Amino acid sequence: MSTPMTSYADLPTVLLDELTAAGLDPGAVHAAVLGALAEDLPDGAADVTSVATIPSSARAEAVVRACEDGVVAGLGVAALVFVTVAGADVAITDRVPDGTTVAPGDVVLRVAGPTRALLTAERTALNFASHLSGVATATARWVSALEGTGARVLDTRKTLPGWRALEKYAVRCGGGVNHRFSLADMALVKDNHVEAAGGVVPAWRAVRDRFPDVEVEVEVDRLDQLEELLTVGCQHVLLDNMDTATLSEAVRLTAGRATLEASGGLTLDRAREVAGTGVDFISVGALTHSVQVFDLGLDMVAAQDPAPERAQVRH
């Protein structure tokens, strides 16, 4: 088996370029992969099951298949896991692009290399791809529910710690739109900020005065608050936990003067009804905070001759 690619500098350029083009920091993704692998191989320990049962010279080919309908994401991260564990002695082929809609039995990735390495990498690779495909699949269901309306589905900051960039990438794979990535790139004035500042307008003005170049969105739960904000020129308003009739009235009052985001306890069953009110966005924390993982499985399909191969990472 080749030396694992624990050094970022040794990783295939084509894979790093792909992650960068996807809006991800490849160095951060590689660090996440190393951290995940360290959970299985603490302090450089061996995969005792694979070492005990599989000769070091054994080679195999395996496929990753979808076990349900959905949208895949994170296959590039899974590829990075296999490359990190197996080093240059691995070939990854037949990988479908992230964002692809798949059906049960579809092969989404094929990998060949040292059998021990493939099995050592298996669970970590599937953990990344299954979770991110779950996010993409959930997002795609919301996108489908909103099709034909003017509303788009937004994610939130309710992400797994350390997984935000990956989860928001998966939302994009599913056709959704990213809200702010951090507390610094946009201001979102919530009810506690409003309480501390003494009202929606004082809170909005405080942010405008302190950070004039930052976009500001203010949460309201009453129409009189919305009217106050429209009067002073607030351009982004979050409508929190409003019923359909109130959302419709909010849209009428706004008359295009601000973007409106509906939020709070929304479900797929109600998605189209809410979109029909004319709001611009529907934000859904469940896309990331309680998503069901997508069922992917890896199966060995063939043993190989023990001749070494150079790493190939291609679709």
168 is catalytic: no
What does the alpha-carbon distance between residue 57 and residue 145 come to, in Å, rounded to a whole number?
Answer: 51
What does the alpha-carbon distance between residue 243 and residue 221 come to, in Å, rounded to a whole number?
Answer: 10
Pick the catalytic residue from 17, 190, 243, 314.
Answer: 190
What does the alpha-carbon distance between residue 311 and residue 201 come to, in Å, rounded to a whole number?
Answer: 58
Pick the catalytic residue from 167, 240, 261, 280.
Answer: 240
Contacts for 241 with CB less than 8 Å, ≥ 6 apart: 221, 263, 264, 265
Q: How many CB atoms lie within 10 A of CB 58?
A: 16
What does the alpha-carbon distance between residue 233 and residue 246 come to, in Å, rounded to a whole number?
Answer: 21
CA distances from 111 to 7, 64, 141, 287, 288 (A): 21, 8, 30, 29, 28
Nearest to 216 by CA among 183, 241, 243: 183
Pick the catalytic residue from 47, 155, 219, 261.
Answer: 219
Pick the catalytic residue from 110, 141, 157, 158.
Answer: 158
What does the alpha-carbon distance between residue 38 and residue 26 come to, in Å, rounded to a whole number?
Answer: 18
240 is catalytic: yes
- Asked if residue 281 lies in contact with residue 250, where contact means CB atoms within 8 angstroms, the answer is no
The counts of H helices and E strands in the chain are: 12, 13
What does the alpha-carbon distance between residue 240 and residue 225 come to, in Å, rounded to a whole number?
Answer: 12
Angle 32-116-167 from CA coordinates, rounded to 5°: 25
What does the alpha-carbon distance between residue 84 and residue 48 come to, in Å, rounded to a whole number?
Answer: 19
What sign does the CA torsion over 83, 88, 94, 95 have? positive
Pick the catalytic residue from 61, 106, 123, 141.
Answer: 123
190 is catalytic: yes
Active site residues: 123, 158, 190, 219, 240
